[in-house]
Chain A
Amino acid sequence: MNSAKIDQIINKHNADAGSLIQILLEIQSENNWLPREALTRVSETLDVPMSRIRHITTFYKTFSLVPKGRHEVHVCTGTACHVRGAERVLEAVEDVTGVKAGETDPDLNFSIETVGCIGCCALGPVVVVDGEYHGNITPTEIADVLKTCACKSE
């Protein structure tokens, strides 16, 4: 990610340190993750110590300090999904992709995340694959969805 783009995002927020989280969110959505150079740029331009940026980027779950996989899988583990078997769905996701929750495989195929609740509780268990929602899903069904993803990326 080039520094001109980063500066553009920072300037959109008037280089206001109070908008730090919004700026980081925008950099992440532009670049998919937060490279070290980007953080340094933000730290210098906003005059925010790197210590705070390190804390923020590890405190808030959305931020990623490593590149994300081509396919982003979010498994909802909210209570409604939990009582309807989200744990087994998550196991199936980890099984099929070989990636543990919170991790990305070295080939950058899959990033697996658990989400506290995505607010589609009536459809539990829910898995979001690349922005597409799969509701009332069974372990077998999600395995099939992800196998198709894996084929596409090969």
Chain B
Amino acid sequence: MSKINSPAELEVFRKAILSQRDSDKPCITLCSGSACHATGSGKVAAAIEREMTTQGIVAEVDYRRTGCHGFCEQGPIVVIYPEGICYLKVQPEDIAEIISETIKEKKIVDRLLYVDPNTGEKATIEADIPFYKHQERLVLGLNRKIDPKSLEDFLAVGGYQALAKTLFEMTPEQVVGEVKDAKLRGRGGAGFPSGLKWDFARNAPGDKKYVVVNCDEGDPGAYMDRSLMEGNPYGVIEGLMIGAYAIGADEGYFYVRQEYPLAVENLEIAIKTAEESGLLGQDILGSGFNFTVKVHRGAGAFICGEETALLKSLEGMPGEPNSRPPFPAIKGLWSKPTNINNVETWSNIPLIINKGAAFFNSIGTEGSKGTKIFSLVGKVNNTGLVEVPMGASLRDIIYKIGAGVPGGKKFKAVQTGGPSGGCIPENLLDIKVDFDELTKAGAMMGSGGMIVMDEDTCLVDLARYFLNFLSNESCGKCNPCREGIRQMLKILTNITKGLGKEGDIELLQELAENTKGTSLCALGKTAPNPVLSTLNHFRSEYEAHIKEGRCPALSCKALISFTIDPDKCKACGACAKKCAPEAINGGKKIVHVIDQDKCTKCGSCIEACPAAFGAVKKISGEAAPPALSGESRNL
């Protein structure tokens, strides 16, 4: 590919690409993010390529493998343009029919359409699916229009316009000013104003400065950065370059989690192509601006999402955070001024430059502008990535977009902000989601994980789960974090094992306050949040475990028993067949009983018992009723 040497050449090149594209020409797109890959999008891709040849439509129809659409549970997803017909859970064997029916005959393949889990209504067009209809995809939207490996695709949707504008029409001060005016706040967790952060790095003394993309998305349950990095790598690079220009940096790093191989792959392709096209390197677009980037893979450490730990890791050291001050803006990578933002933050930059701070400002709430991408997962019907304006209500996100809790179960709480966040109960679902409101509710925005939990989730166990995660992921350097988490985890484990005692709750609170107040970095300072927020909203669950030996969610193994209701058992034997420890005794026309001493509480019996019978049940806080014996067991 030849180099693009000026903004004028960029536009000529863009026009040439667009002139070859016909928006009325049918186009088959296939989502190829990690999740769709996991559900077999690779095999579907092969089938599409094969069938297009077999059915002779290669010339008349375009085909594109795009980034993640975010509706991951329904993957692989095929969308057919220009209509936008959306097929879900597409398998290789469906492809021949899609091409012969939909592409050639303009007929819909009914069985592949979205079905609303509550109303049973079907939706043909992507935009009509409630999951998409209520979103505003300003940042994530490009993912489904482009092949992330193609620079042409990115240019066709207006890529690098913002960079050209920045380099030729704006001074670095103006760029920082625009980001400040947009009131963009960091999407990685703390929500610090990005413009202000840029200003610190820009004004810091020193000739050599760095910019860094934090793609160490470690919060379990959040994957929007993965989706952006895989699905629109050029967009992130463009945002980073604008920031580099504003700050006065000529070198950048991408720090990508080791668990995201596809993100690394797509990013490396994008960097190579951009270098070959003169969109990275020396004298970019003839502006005199020089910029190079490197990709650094993480090696499996949650703490490296913390910016000072990330910098240590970039330098080839263990990821142990430093105390701030000094802030990285003053003393960062190799002790040089460094600006770090996360993927989603950088992805917002081209939008702000293209559309202006006023536009960005018009979206969102007083304190939080723009949109935010959430990963809506857990016990919710429509799981996936959701981009909504700041200020959308939790209820709308979970019920309108997410279509509520599956299986007729009752909603219990939604956990936001990952291991540093908190649980929000039903009565707070109407709060407007932004940085400040979530914090007020005792949770936090974090990177945008939103895990829905139903009545089957035990919140004491959830707190234990997070503390266990953190005890493994803390760097272990400072005492209050390492030891505070250790002690809290011990107490929580005991409570879930039925060994809780009077005073445990008070001790948890004391340990939590100390860890929060005296830890060195943000991991420790926020580590007690899962404990504090569940204690705040669900204290009765803790008390039930401790005082009554009862797990209200019927989840903690040590506190539950499985029994078979003799009035409902039809002696079908299904449960006994599935019982690995052979704890179920029964026979033909003999009511089955569970030997409590042998039962390992794996729950296989409850799954095996036909729903029509529903004879196996879980109980907690009471002893299993004595099993029937002798003739009374005959049906």
Alpha-carbon distance A80/B402, docked complex (angstroms): 14
Q: Among B218, B226, B379, which residue has its beta carbon within 8 angstroms of that of A84?
A: B379
Is B290's CB within 8 Å of the partner chain A?
no
Is B360's CB within 8 Å of the partner chain A?
no
Please state if A62 and B258 are interface contacts (CB–CB under 8 Å). yes
Measured between beta carbons, the chain B residues less than 8 angstroms from A115 are 259
Among B34-42, B117-125, B174-182, B428-436, which stretch is in contact with chain A? B34-42
Is A69's CB within 8 Å of the partner chain B?
no
Closest to B382 in A: A122
Please state if A122 and B301 are interface contacts (CB–CB under 8 Å). no
Please state if B221 and A78 are interface contacts (CB–CB under 8 Å). yes
Is A61's CB within 8 Å of the partner chain B?
yes
Q: Among A24, A48, A55, A120, which residue has its beta carbon within 8 angstroms of that of B38?
A: A120
Is B245's CB within 8 Å of the partner chain A?
no
Please state if A116 and B39 are interface contacts (CB–CB under 8 Å). no
**CB within 8 Å for A117 and B221 given contacts A61-B300, A79-B415:** yes
Assuming A20-B316, A119-B259, what are 14 further A-B pairs, CB within 8 angstroms?
Answer: A17-B316, A21-B299, A24-B299, A25-B299, A48-B316, A59-B318, A63-B300, A77-B469, A78-B221, A79-B418, A84-B379, A121-B383, A122-B377, A135-B35
Alpha-carbon distance A151/B71, docked complex (angstroms): 36
Alpha-carbon distance A116/B221, docked complex (angstroms): 9
Number of inter-chain CB pairs below 8 Å: 145
* Smallest beta-carbon distance B359→chain A, Å: 30
Alpha-carbon distance A144/B591, docked complex (angstroms): 30
Please state if A120 and B218 are interface contacts (CB–CB under 8 Å). no
* Smallest beta-carbon distance B19→chain A, Å: 38
Which chain A residues (48-66) contact chain B, with CB distance < 8 Å? Answer: 48, 52, 55-56, 59-63
- Most A CB atoms within 10 A — which of B37, B71, B220, B469? B220
**Interface, chain A (partner B; CB < 8 A):** 17-22, 24-25, 48, 52, 55-56, 59-63, 77-84, 88, 91, 115-124, 126, 133-136, 139-140
Please state if B299 and A117 are interface contacts (CB–CB under 8 Å). no
Alpha-carbon distance A20/B384, docked complex (angstroms): 36
Closest to A59 in B: B318
Is B192's CB within 8 Å of the partner chain A?
no
**CB within 8 Å for A78 and B602 given contacts A19-B316, A83-B451, A118-B259:** no
Alpha-carbon distance A124/B378, docked complex (angstroms): 8
Please state if B38 and A117 are interface contacts (CB–CB under 8 Å). no
Please state if A119 and B377 are interface contacts (CB–CB under 8 Å). no
**CB within 8 Å for A18 and B221 given contacts A62-B300, A80-B378, A83-B379:** no
Alpha-carbon distance A136/B89, docked complex (angstroms): 13
**CB within 8 Å for A60 and B259 given contacts A117-B222, A122-B377:** no
Closest to A58 in B: B318
**Interface, chain B (partner A; CB < 8 A):** 34-35, 37-39, 71-73, 217-223, 226, 258-260, 296-302, 313-319, 334, 375, 377-379, 383-384, 415, 418, 449, 451, 453, 457, 462, 465-466, 469, 473, 475, 602-604
* Smallest beta-carbon distance A21→chain B, Å: 5
- Most B CB atoms within 10 A — which of A21, A63, A115, A122? A122
- Most B CB atoms within 10 A — which of A19, A20, A117, A123? A117
Please state if B73 and A133 are interface contacts (CB–CB under 8 Å). no
Measured between beta carbons, the chain A residues less than 8 angstroms from B384 are 122
Measured between beta carbons, the chain B residues less than 8 angstroms from A133 are 34, 37-39
Measured between beta carbons, the chain A residues less than 8 angstroms from B378 are 79-80, 83-84, 124
Please state if A117 and B220 are interface contacts (CB–CB under 8 Å). yes
* Smallest beta-carbon distance A57→chain B, Å: 9
Please state if A79 and B301 are interface contacts (CB–CB under 8 Å). no
Please state if B602 and A91 are interface contacts (CB–CB under 8 Å). yes
* Smallest beta-carbon distance B416→chain A, Å: 11
Please state if B451 and A25 are interface contacts (CB–CB under 8 Å). no
- Most A CB atoms within 10 A — which of B34, B39, B296, B316? B316
Please state if A79 and B72 are interface contacts (CB–CB under 8 Å). no
Measured between beta carbons, the chain A residues less than 8 angstroms from B604 are 139-140
Measured between beta carbons, the chain B residues less than 8 angstroms from A124 are 377-378
Please state if A88 and B259 are interface contacts (CB–CB under 8 Å). no
Alpha-carbon distance A136/B383, docked complex (angstroms): 12
Please state if A120 and B72 are interface contacts (CB–CB under 8 Å). yes
* Smallest beta-carbon distance B96→chain A, Å: 25
Alpha-carbon distance A88/B298, docked complex (angstroms): 29
Please state if A123 and B35 are interface contacts (CB–CB under 8 Å). yes
Measured between beta carbons, the chain A residues less than 8 angstroms from B418 are 79
